[in-house]
A and B are shown apart, each in its own frame.
Chain A
């Protein structure tokens, strides 16, 4: 019985963590898949998403408005915050910075996105200050549920269906829409796609903005669970990279499987051998990369010269 309880607790905790990290990592993977850019600024987009969401939720529940606004509307605020941050910062970064870098050495582009990340971190402190922001209301609103004697926050559990919806929408968008097919053509071969008349520059912009929205959404939906403080983007970007590396750079199913693997194994470590919690994620990553350097779902390809 105890074994069953522990297994179920590991599964639930693992799935919650997987869903959360998938929401963060999927945008990173999408941008890499299409643009071939390792976007370190993703951590900054995540943090900006969290800040704007926390600020928005704070305003939403301000006594001035909360008397006539339905509390459940705050979930829409989280989503709107993510879209607003993703569109504005995505456009500024891609149109204002990255497009001048296309075609340059990968290392230079990584450095540029790292610089952008540092600027975003400073920008956060410039706009929001160093004090923490709280957006606990959506978290408290959903209450708790007891599963086998352990209480879980429904908000955290609801990240599981949310990530499934995001995953399904991305699958549908990539395989069942004209835009998805154009995108796949660009992923497959940028030059041929351009020769066939696809506006690659526009595909890049749209994809980057979409990836930015996903990154900001990871932050926005994290905000109600945590104290939103400076530096929160640094931690998550490292973790997201691990997930994407395990799954295979640029692969959406890879991101999902990577997140699932990281989440479940980490939860097992926390429950069974807590001292390994920090090590295990990177241990798994090292193991996967040792046998499949391109990641689980990554495609090995010959380097073009």
Chain B
């Protein structure tokens, strides 16, 4: 092989060049293969279609625990909606009779990039509605743009209470309760199951999510078990992976309960390291998002850890026929059980389908306008795969749901994780009363909660 230099042709040693070419070839072939796969659904759709733009973390640390199951939830719903195979009463074909197809983009790159991508999806790709946003920073950034562009935007996973407490939107809907309910329900669960807890500690990622979750939890626990004291608050860096020093402190301070909203690879690493050092034998541990990880951890997750799914989803879902259908269909399609992000995106798609059908019927058939769909969705109350979703807050745009927690238990015979001692908490118990801001409600001792 040769390359040109100013001085003329010079021989390049063949082995490294060969290695480089082979490596490049493998990468190129791989990416070509992927593109082909993505093209297929577009080619298959010949009739008029509704286009949904989907933005989720499809690469990076949040892809495995959240982005991929969330995307699976949407794919499953699109298949079921297009083929009319959803259980009754949702078993009509399509949305308002029209087939649905999705365009997926990655949620990574930060809020500024997401706003640009959102505009691209709406203006260039002409999507009819958007579903997505796992990160709170992204959903808050995108919501005003959705208003500006007048496009229906469903927020299935992002949990920050600020979304509808600090603003009001016409085109944005959120189909889960805000993240405040994660902390309040966890406090109620501890009061019910471990009422003798006197001290609490925490290990949370050092950014808004970790700090807010912990603040809500310690205020809520102090409200339901008065006199509970904080003994240590650990804030490792997000994606630190190494929690050895923090575990030493938690072992030394011996808190009665340890709260953690670590997520993804971090919560898995934390479980590894805490289990090896016996932290769970000394303190009760609440992992508010670990349902997404429990099946991957398998036998490495010790028994008796308090597991949350950010609502009654995944293993904490109500045992209804809809839930049974969802779990079975998901398992058959993806050979794995659905974790809570899959439930969350699927119920968002369901809300859109119900609203399109309702709006189309109201106008005597045909494609409804976005405004007609929004009118049909406001204050909607519907049975989803995990629980009943009641869009009763935020002028009919923000869901209020019940919440649930349970204890991990490894089933040695089946070789899989299960959940025991599940408790569901009524929506009126874990959500602030109408019009009350959640931070003020918790600080004030959660007055008006109906438990």
Contact = CB atoms under 8 A, between A and B. Distances in A.
Contact of A225 (B67, B232, B233, B242): B242
B20 A271 contact: no
A235 B251 CA distance: 26
A22 B95 CA distance: 57
A25 B229 CA distance: 40
Interface string A88-106: 0001100111000000000
A274 B233 contact: yes
Contacts of A131: 64, 68, 296
Given A132-B64, A267-B245, A153 B276 contact: yes
Interface in A1-38: 5-6, 9, 12-14, 16-17, 20
B144 interface: no
Given A16-B244, A91-B19, A151-B277, A277 B61 contact: no
Contacts of B30: 126
Given A92-B16, A96-B17, A274 B235 contact: yes
A267 to B, nearest CB: 5
B241 A235 contact: yes
Interface in B1-54: 13, 16-17, 19-20, 23, 27, 30
A275 interface: yes
Interface string B61-90: 101100110000000000000000000000
B432 interface: no
B277 A123 contact: no
B196 to A, nearest CB: 22
A117 interface: no
A140 B17 CA distance: 42
Contacts of A267: 245
B278 A144 contact: yes
A59 B233 CA distance: 39
Interface in A242-291: 266-267, 270-271, 274-275, 277-278
Given A17-B245, A230-B60, A274-B235, A225 B268 contact: no
A231 interface: yes
Contact of A20 (B13, B68, B242, B251): B242
Contacts of A274: 232-235, 246, 249
A152 interface: yes
A136 B237 contact: no
A140 B19 CA distance: 38
Nearest to B18: A96
A235 B273 contact: no
Nearest to B254: A149
A230 B64 contact: yes
A131 B246 CA distance: 26
A278 B245 contact: no
Interface in A176-191: none
A56 B327 CA distance: 33
Interface on chain B toward A: helix, strand, loop, or mixed SS? helix
B4 to A, nearest CB: 13
Nearest to A126: B30
Given A9-B252, A231-B60, A275 B237 contact: no
Q: Is the interface on chain B under 10, 10 to 19, 20 to 34, or 35 or more residues? A: 35 or more
Nearest to A234: B239
B264 A229 contact: yes
Contacts of B206: 277-278
B273 A95 contact: no
A222 B239 CA distance: 14
Contacts of B329: none
A151 B296 contact: no
Contacts of A125: 59
Contact of A13 (B19, B58, B244, B266): B244
Interface in B191-207: 206
A123 B23 CA distance: 10
A230 B246 CA distance: 23
B269 A130 contact: no
A227 B265 contact: yes
A226 interface: yes
Contact of A126 (B27, B235, B241, B249): B27
Nearest to A154: B276
Interface residues of A, number: 53
Contacts of A17: 242, 244-245
Given A227-B269, A231-B239, A274-B249, A92 B23 contact: yes
B251 A151 contact: yes
Given A132-B268, A232-B241, A235-B239, A271 B273 contact: no
B272 interface: yes
Nearest to A155: B276
A152 B16 contact: no
Given A91-B16, A278-B206, A150 B237 contact: no
Most buried by B among A5, A13, A156, A229: A229
A123 B26 CA distance: 10
Among A20, A271, A275: residue with most chain B CB under 10 A: A271
B208 interface: no
Interface string A213-244: 00000000010011111111011000000000
B246 A270 contact: yes
Contact of A275 (B59, B60, B233, B251): B233
Nearest to B251: A150
A152 B246 CA distance: 12
A12 B273 CA distance: 16
A277 B232 contact: no
Nearest to B241: A226
B243 to A, nearest CB: 9
A271 B245 CA distance: 8
Contacts of B237: 235, 277-278
22 contacts: A91-B19, A92-B23, A96-B19, A96-B20, A96-B23, A97-B20, A122-B27, A123-B27, A126-B27, A130-B63, A134-B300, A151-B278, A152-B248, A225-B242, A225-B273, A227-B265, A227-B269, A230-B61, A234-B239, A271-B248, A271-B252, A274-B246
Interface of A: 5-6, 9, 12-14, 16-17, 20, 91-92, 95-97, 119, 122-123, 125-126, 130-132, 134, 136, 139-140, 144, 149-153, 155-156, 222, 225-232, 234-235, 266-267, 270-271, 274-275, 277-278
Given A225-B244, A227-B268, A271-B248, 5 more contacts: A17-B245, A91-B19, A226-B272, A270-B234, A271-B245
* Smallest CB-CB A-B distances: 3 pairs: A227-B268, A95-B16, A229-B265
